[in-house]
Chains A and B, each alone.
Chain A
Amino acid sequence: MISIVALLLWGVAALLGTAMLAIAVSRRDSATQLVYGLILGIAALVFLAVSSHLVGDPAGVSAVTLPLGLPWIGAHFRLDALSAFFLVVVNLGGAFASLYGLGYGRHESAPHRVLPFFPAFLAGMNLVVLADDAFTFLLSWEFMSLASWALVMAHHREPDNTRAGYIYLVMASFGTLALLLAFGLLAGPAGTYTFDAMRAAEPTRFVAAAVLALMLLGAGSKAGLVPLHVWLPLAHPAAPSHVSALMSGVMTKVAIYGFIRVIFDLLGEPAWWSGVVVLFLGGLTAVLGILHALMEKDLKRLLAYSTIENIGVIFVSLGLALAFKANAMPSAAALALTAALFHVLNHSFFKSLLFFGAGAVLTATGERNMEKLGGLIHRMPLTSFVFLVGCVSISALPPFNGFVSEWLAFQAILQSPDLPQWGLKVMVPAVGGLLALSAALAAACFVKAFGITFLGRPRSAAMEQVREVDRYSLAAMFALAALCLLAGILPGLVIDGISPVTLSLIGNRMPVQMAQPWLSIVPIAESRSSYNGLLVLVFITISASLAAVVIHRFASHALRRGPAWGCGFPDITPAAQYTAVSFAQPIRRVFGTFAFRAKEKVEMPPPGATGPARLTVEMHDVIWETFYQPIAGAVGYASEKLNRLQFLTIRRYLTLVFLYLVTLLLVLALWP
């Protein structure tokens, strides 16, 4: 009997084999169907294997060591509850992305730049989650980064994509460096690279603090934590849409996995202040991410910024879990960690769905700029319907799934007045306010995303010839929409599925939910709080049908189509409609002055003149300008100065070498 880990590794090997095959066949016409079909099959099989493991033997741990990598270490792989949960997220996302790719990939202009890297990327993510020693983890992490970088650069001739790829590469290397140092600290002077040894070691307080900081830099930069998020809104939209979905929906989750693995599993007992740090960063990330998304008019960039917001929401729940864990409140910690993991799953569903939708719009119209779209609900009714489901889910509205994880996070916040430390007592309600603010802004953002793209009148003539997308893309989107609804009305199923993870990391779990009457979810006790998505859906359906029946029975059926009323001033041109920028204007006036240092300037023609008035809006990316521009400037300055060293005479080079040698010897001599 082959062990489950070995089975999964065969799956990874099959993905890598598919990548090799793709190199060979990628220039043929049938390559797209073949490659995505294979990946779909493999990812679905891996998903089935992992979920059967989760159902059958949730607490079971299975490990295998392969004689690969560094000779005296080998490559360790291990499957436990945490990695099983994330493997579900990765392979479900991968399966849907390849189903979507079956249709979407046919429009790909350069398939040979996408097909080989797509399975490699998926294999890399699987390996990160399976890895059980630092070397394998880092190697797989870097493999995942590079494969995704290659996919970002697939359309490298398009303007801005090269810059996106460059910034991504720099940030990814920086992140891996931070991870390398973090694992170095965890391994200690003895150099024990296996996770088992790290788990057994007890790091000092200084080491634990340094590891937390390095993990926030390393995993945080991959996940998109502010202020390390700058590459994300550039790189995610630059890739083909199904890859964007994988990067946003799944790769950021692999980064979250890395953070949880190290901080919750390897590092031992957390300090209470680590909760404060993570909470603060999470709250900041959530609000800044969604504010940026609101100001955006490129549909895919809007979605990428919204990913940053959701990462913030996840980190807020993780910070709460850390704070509770540090204060020995295991049931509250289990609640917070469940909220975080539930949101991980939810976000992988609706963000993939939304990126697929954006890809469908891109295929149909060739346009990502919302200011040129509009009225697509008439031309693409099915896509617009599923996109609407995605928007409702991500806006945390009941009865869909986004609301459940948000609700669990709020319930966790309500457990926190019992925390003893003042830092947490002040931070938690403030972050709760930020979380509520970001939820409300997210709803505003997705009213804008859907309203400007799909509703209203077409803003350019090209919209007239738009057609609905192919069946594969629609199938992938409809399946994800169904999952969004299912996770929203049967949240108990997901919560019970997560419970082995919280049991293994915290030693506690939320009460069994599927045994609750009427499939409610009850975090602590019914008299305190409960929510039943299924009944909410049933009630809304009943009352809406009741209203419809009454209307049908008693009201007039007459209906007449006519021109829009518009208070008697119907706008002649579609350009007079609200645009993405004008829709965000009230919110920009409220929040933009401090978040973006936004300034509006109106230039009016003199009285009597007939020239047009002009409105200019000036906005700043504050984080980019405060953190990154100085660094880039310093690097530029230094290289400018060092450039002179390239044009010296041989005499001077020899002098330099001599001086260097002397300095080194001096340092050696003076070293204690």
Chain B
Amino acid sequence: MALIPELAVQGAQMVLVLLLAPLLTGFVRKVKARLQRRRGPSLIQPYRDVVRLMRKEVVLADNASWLFRVTPYLIFAATWVAAALIPTFATGLTFSWTADLIAIVALLGSARFFLALAGMDVGTSFGGIGASREVMIASLAEPAMLLIVFSLALVAGATQLSTVAAFMASPDVGLRVSLGMSLIALVIVAIAENARIPVDNPATHLELTMVHEAMVLEYSGRHLAMIEFASFLKLLLYVSLVSCVFIPWGLVTSGARPQLLLLGAVTYVGKLAVCGILLAVFETAIAKMRVFRVPDFLGVALMLALLGTLLLFVSRSL
């Protein structure tokens, strides 16, 4: 029976992303703090936060509907499924064909759809401001992301992420202008989607330009824990996506021997650390943007991604 070890690897991946996600966020926070010459919270602070939130009681606004209470679970589930479908340490997992990259992007879109609705449910102006800005950002980030997917798919001949990653690791890929453009665009999209500086500030609660935090303002207790966890997962997802497509070395195939799988997992953690440090450095070096500068920033991603796709339509080798 080859199915059982393969299922085990798939399960291991699901658990791995769940376990690593808060650590990555904690790590980025720690590096940022060190760069700002602060000591910073402990690496495992995000785990503690989640546990603490789960122990607290939920304070629900009088006007909150059933949608408000269901949304945290939906968001968490959609993000978790999406994260589990990205090849983190191994390609060709048992269920990797369930959804290709377009579907993964759309799954994240579902999560955002419900989060924006939850922001509007209670009927405060903060929720509305967050939701309306979130959909504005998404209306630029999502097409950019899809055009990046087009570029990758045209280079690799597939939208299936396992195939893309395997192709990227092979020597056929070479240096391409379009891939460079896609990388820059993908990083910009990842920053915007994860509500990082300069698009949004994950560390503050009261800032006029806040987007993500404004939507979840009314959440508390276990609901907030789910939403926080989903945003940890989302950061991990984008970092895994960038690393599996643009630094695919060290990925193993699902059927490999356990030692190799372990090695793959270690490499993966190393990649997360490198990307985390880069993110922290970038966030420390740059200032938060005014909200209506964000379209310009995302417009760069959109144009680069479009240009990359156009180049590939002109010539497959660019």
Q: Does A143 contact B (CB under 8 A)?
A: no
What 0/1 readout, one digit per residue, does chain B (43-82) give for beta carbons within 8 Å of chain A?
A: 0000000000011111111110111000001101110110
> A455-B65, A585-B132 known; 11 other A-B pairs, CB under 8 Å?
A377-B66, A377-B67, A440-B109, A456-B121, A530-B97, A531-B103, A536-B107, A541-B77, A544-B74, A551-B54, A559-B221
Specify which of B113, B306, B313 is in contact with A447 (CB 8 Å cutoff).
B113
A563 on the interface (CB 8 Å rule)? yes
Q: How far is the CB of A589 from chain B (nearest CB, A)?
A: 6
**11 intermolecular pairs with C-beta atoms under 8 Å apart:** A375-B63, A407-B106, A410-B159, A437-B139, A440-B142, A444-B136, A455-B67, A520-B98, A559-B58, A583-B128, A589-B292
Residues of B within 8 A of A (CB): 54-63, 65-67, 73-74, 76-78, 80-81, 84, 95, 97-100, 102-103, 106-107, 109-110, 112-113, 116-117, 120-129, 131-133, 135-136, 138-143, 146-147, 150, 153-154, 157-160, 163, 205-206, 217-218, 221-222, 225-226, 291-292, 295, 302, 306, 309-310, 312-314, 316
Report the separation of the CA atoms of residues A403 and B99 in the bound assembly, to the nearest whole angstrom: 12
Are B310 and A429 touching (Cβ within 8 A)?
A: yes
Least CB separation from A425: chain B residue: B313
Nearest Cβ distance between residue B80 and chain A, in whole angstroms? 5
With contact pairs A554-B54, A556-B54, A578-B125 given, residues A398 and B76 touching in the complex (Cβ less than 8 Å): no
Which 7 pairs show the lowest CB-CB distances between chains A and B? A578-B128, A558-B57, A456-B123, A586-B136, A444-B135, A451-B120, A544-B77
Within 8 A of B (CB), among A362-416: 374-375, 377-378, 381, 388, 392, 395-398, 403, 407, 410-411, 413-414, 416
Residues of chain A contacted by B225 (CB below 8 angstroms): 551, 555
The reply to whether B157 and A528 form a contact with Cβ atoms under 8 Å apart is yes
Least CB distance from A471 to B in Å reads 21
Output the least CB separation between A530 and chain B (Å).
Answer: 5
Taking a contact as CB atoms under 8 Å apart, the answer to whether A539 and B98 are in contact is: yes
Q: Which residues of A contact B110 (CB under 8 A)?
A: 392, 397-398
Cα–Cα, bound, A381→B65 (Å): 9
Structural contact, A407 and B102, CB atoms closer than 8 A: yes
Q: Tell whether, in the assembled complex, residue A414 and residue B107 are in contact, meaning their CB atoms are under 8 Å apart.
A: no
Task: Verify if A543 is at the interface (C-beta below 8 Å from B).
Answer: yes
Collect the chain B residues with CB atoms within 8 Å of residue A456's CB: 63, 120-123, 128
Q: Name which of A439, A448, A578, A589 has the most chain B CB atoms within 10 A of its CB.
A: A578
Residue A590 interfacial (CB < 8 Å): yes
Interface centre among B57, B117, B154, B221 (most CB of A within 10 A): B117
Name the B residues within 8 Å of A396 (CB-CB).
Answer: 106, 109
Contacts A547-B76, A554-B54 hold; do A436 and B142 have CB atoms under 8 A apart?
yes
Contact of A13 with B by CB under 8 A: no
Contact B76–A532 (Cβ < 8 Å): no
Partner of B60, one of A543, A560, A585: A560
> CB distance B157 to A562 under 8 Å?
no
Given known A-B contacts A530-B100, A561-B62, A567 and B157 have beta carbons under 8 A apart: no
Identify which of B117, B147, B221, B316 contacts A451 (C-beta below 8 A).
Answer: B117
How far apart are B33's CB and chain A's nearest CB, in angstroms?
A: 26
Docked-complex contact A528 and B142, CB < 8 angstroms = no
Contact B76 A544 (CB under 8 A): yes
Q: Among the listed stretches A87-95, A342-350, A569-577, which one makes contact with chain B, having 4 or more residues with CB under 8 Å of it?
A: A569-577
A589 to B222 Cα, complex, angstroms: 36
Q: Could you tell me the dominant secondary structure of chain B's interface residues?
A: helix
A547 to B160, CA, bound (A): 27
Which residue from chain A places its CB closest to the CB of B225 in the assembled complex?
Answer: A555
Determine if B143 and A437 form an interchain contact, defined as CB atoms under 8 angstroms apart.
Answer: yes
A528/B139 in contact, CB under 8 A: no
Contact across chains for A551 and B222 when beta carbons are under 8 A apart: yes
**Which chain B positions have C-beta within 8 A of A567?**
126, 205-206, 217
Which chain A residues border B58 with CB–CB below 8 Å?
556, 558-560
* A450 CB–B CB distance under 8 Å: yes
Which residues of B lie under 8 Å from residue A548 when comparing CB positions?
73
Across the interface, name the chain B residue whose C-beta is closest to A457: B123
Query: Which listed residue, B81, B98, B127, B222, touches A556 by the CB 8 Å rule?
Result: B222
Give the CA-CA distance A546 to B109 in the complex, in Å. Answer: 22
Q: Are B139's CB and A441's CB within 8 A?
A: yes
A547 contact set on B, CB distance < 8 A: 73, 76-77, 80, 226
Pair A527/B226 contact, Cβ less than 8 Å: no
| Smallest CB gap from B105: residue in A | A436
Q: Is B160 a contact of A539 with CB atoms below 8 Å?
A: no
Closest to B163 in A: A527
Contact B61 A565 (CB under 8 A): yes
Contact A426 B313 (CB under 8 A): yes
State whether A528 and B77 are in contact (beta carbons under 8 Å apart), knowing that A551-B226, A582-B132 are contacts in the complex. no
A428 touches B313 (CB 8 A): yes
Given that A540-B81, A554-B54 are known contacts, is A564 also in contact with B63, CB under 8 Å in the complex? yes
1/0 contact trace for A32-44 toward B, CB 8 Å? 0000000000000
> Would B98 and A570 count as touching, CB distance under 8 A?
no
- CB pair A410 B125 closer than 8 Å: no
